[in-house]
Amino acid sequence: MYTGSSISAAAIVEHLLNMTRDVEDLVYTVKRVLNRETQVRAETIEKLYRQEILPYKGTLENMTSKLFEFLASGRLTLVDMSEYYLNSAIQLERAGQSIEASVYRLLLLASLKVELTTETLELLRGLYDKMEDSIRSLTSIMRLLQNMRGEEAYRMLEDRVRKLKETEEEADALYRKAYAHIVSVFNDKPRELIVLKDMLELVESAIDRILEAGNYMRIIAVATITR
């Protein structure tokens, strides 16, 4: 059980863990489609976007709103470091929004009948692999926060945060490689290039938001273990 200052804090940690799992499911859903497709098809991506991506995005937004309402309902002072909990939720919501927007860009490309090179698809899959690694690290941080006690817990926390940061750095390097690739391949197709650049930036943004959520939760965990 969470060892923070109140039962309310334990409920918030569980709420954030559920949000993290939703982002993890969202990433897995996109990866499942990307990994089975040799070329993006409009009907496949549109089905993914409307039936799965948009509902996940809406769920994350609703969960952030519920957390804000709880913290603003007069019980704000009952939860230590409430702003960090809320900021973590906001980062998870923004990660979901970035994923949704990146899939929408992919839908635009498919609707325009843009033929993506094998390397472009592999680089995009690679970025989503890094996103999956990031969200799994964040999930483990959230679970650890539920039982944050002793020096061993602190060492485990630091190890997970370090892994999260390393994954983000690897994703940055892959993003730069992907960016250089699409500029080289689509330099004479400005419309396609703009959409691809937007898509890559949104994927990178989602990974950054996951890291930021982890940073906020680390602050909460350190404060918890040192009290």
Question: 222 to each of 13, 64, 124, 136, how far by Cα in Å?
Answer: 14, 23, 35, 20
Q: What is the mean pLDDT of the chain?
A: 87
Contact between 156 and 189 under an 8 Å Cβ cutoff? The reply is no
Is the pLDDT assigned to residue 130 strictly greater than 60? yes
C-alpha–C-alpha distance, residues 127 and 6, integer Å: 38
pLDDT of res. 145: 78
Return the residue matching tokens 């370090």: 162
C-alpha–C-alpha distance, residues 119 and 122, integer Å: 5
**Per-residue pLDDT tens over the stretch 38-64:** 777 889 999 999 999 999 999 999 999
Strand (E) positions, the chain? none
Residue 27 banded pLDDT, cuts 50, 70, 90: very high
Contact between 68 and 29 under an 8 Å Cβ cutoff? The reply is no
Residues 6 or more apart from 102 whose CB is under 8 A from it? 199, 202, 203, 206
pTM score: 0.90
Query: What domains does the chain contain, in order, with CATH numbers?
Result: 7-226 (1.20.58.220)
Contact between 6 and 78 under an 8 Å Cβ cutoff? The reply is yes
Nearest alpha carbon to residue 206 among 168, 179, 169: 168
Structural tokens at position 225: 């273990």
Question: 217 to each of 20, 56, 127, 148, 209, how far by Cα in Å?
Answer: 12, 22, 23, 12, 12
Q: What are the φ and ψ backbone dihedral angles of 3, each rounded to 5 degrees?
A: -110, 25
Contact between 203 and 131 under an 8 Å Cβ cutoff? The reply is yes
What percent of the chain has pLDDT above 70? 91
The winner for highest mean pLDDT among 84-88, 139-143, 144-148, 178-182 is: 178-182
Structural tokens at position 194: 């703009």
How many CB atoms are located within 10 Å of the residue 92 CB? 26
C-alpha–C-alpha distance, residues 107 and 126, integer Å: 19
